[in-house]
Amino acid sequence: MFYYYGRKKQIAKYYPPPNYSTIVEPFAGSAAYSLHGDNWKKEVLLIEKDERVASIWEWLINEATPEQVNKLPDLKVGEKSSEFLHIIHAATKMAFHYKTIKVTPVLARNWEISKRYIKANLFKIKHWRVMCADYSAAPNVTATWFVDPPYKEDSGKGYRHGSGSIDYSHLAAWAESRRGEIIFCEGTCGDYLPFTSLLELKGVAGKSSKEVYYYKSSKAQKQIQLFT
């Protein structure tokens, strides 16, 4: 819904579509998967540990109107802002640690784009729910579980609750115990589940990064059992 470092807005189309009536994102961020295509029509539960991000979702889901979003002030290059919703538009994972930020052309552009997008798509999320909690507090409902944690090692260290605070072996076991289907995202350092390649992303200055994922479906397992 808003700019968020590491969001999946551009690559959400490459992940398997949801096969259940409920989507749970236990590392919600900006919930790009739940907003992709018609996914938003499902019952959506967002779990977000960072209370600042969770509070944005609570406002958007429970209070905000298109008129209120339209009245949010634009950002001017060179000025400073201490609003967290502005700061996370800075296109860097280190933004999660900033208390104030100087508005750059990139930040101003990202904020302008987000305002238009939020205003146009706000109606999609009004039936959603959000919990401010650790991923482990998510109820084990039968659902499509889109698990997109801070990636292991350096790429996941910039967040407020980054990779340094995650026990990935525990996370893997927790994910495997979910009911329904699991779509689990990771980067090249992911070695705690049998990940497979998804795609390679081109970055700035010729750099690239690889996206991998793990998929498991209880429906597929039941079908296999029926034919064995």
25 assigned to some structural domain: yes
pLDDT band at 95 (very low <50, low <70, confident <90, very high): confident
Residue 110 burial (CB count, 10 A): 19
Say which residue, 225 or 126, is predicted with more confidence: 126
User: What pLDDT was estimated at residue 224?
Assistant: 38
Q: Quick one: pLDDT at residue 204?
A: 55
User: Long-range pairs for 211-215 at CB < 8 Å and ≥24 separation?
Assistant: 211/11, 211/14, 211/185, 211/186, 211/187, 212/185, 212/186, 212/187, 212/188, 213/15, 213/183, 213/184, 213/185, 213/186, 214/175, 214/182, 214/183, 214/184, 214/186, 215/16, 215/181, 215/182, 215/183, 215/184
- Cα separations in angstroms, 104 against 70, 74, 107, 113: 21, 13, 5, 14
Helical H segments across 27-104, by residue range:
32-35, 51-62, 66-70, 84-87
Burial class (CB in 10 A: 0-12, 13-18, 19+), 142: middle
Domain extent for 166: 12-72+127-226
Cβ atoms of 54 and 27 within 8 Å: the answer is: no
40-to-22, 35, 206, 216, 224 alpha-carbon distances in Å: 10, 5, 34, 21, 30
Does any domain span residue 57? yes
- The reply to whether 91 falls in a domain is no
pLDDT at 165: 84
Helix, coil or strand: residue 101: strand
Domain presence at residue 104: no
In a domain, 1, yes or no: no
> Is residue 25 within 8 Å of 33, Cβ to Cβ?
yes
**Per-residue model confidence (pLDDT) at position 225:** 39
Q: How many domains does one find in the chain?
A: 1
Indicate the pLDDT class of residue 228, thresholds 50, 70 and 90. very low
Mean pLDDT of 1-5: 85
pLDDT confidence of 174, banded at 50, 70, 90? very high
pLDDT score, position 206 = 60
| CATH number for 221 | 3.40.50
The pLDDT confidence band at residue 43, using thresholds 50, 70 and 90, is: very high
pLDDT of residue 203: 63
Kindly state whether residue 38 falls inside one of the protein's structural domains. Answer: yes
Contact 138, 47 (CB under 8 A): yes
Burial group, residue 78, by CB count within 10 angstroms (0-12, 13-18, 19+) = exposed
- The 10s digit of each residue's pLDDT in 44-81 is 999 999 999 999 999 999 999 999 999 999 999 999 99
Question: Average pLDDT of 95-119?
Answer: 91
Whole-prediction pTM value? 0.89
34-43, 106-115, 132-141: which range is least confident on average? 106-115
Reply yes or no on whether the pLDDT at 223 is more than 50.
no
Label residue 120 by pLDDT band (50, 70, 90). Answer: very high
Q: Is the pLDDT of residue 227 over 50?
A: no
140 occurs within a structural domain: yes
Residue 24 identity (one-letter amino acid): V
Question: Is 100 part of a structural domain of the chain?
Answer: no
pLDDT tens profile 133-159: 999 999 999 999 999 999 997 666 666
pLDDT per residue over 188-212, tens digit each? 999 999 999 999 987 655 677 899 9
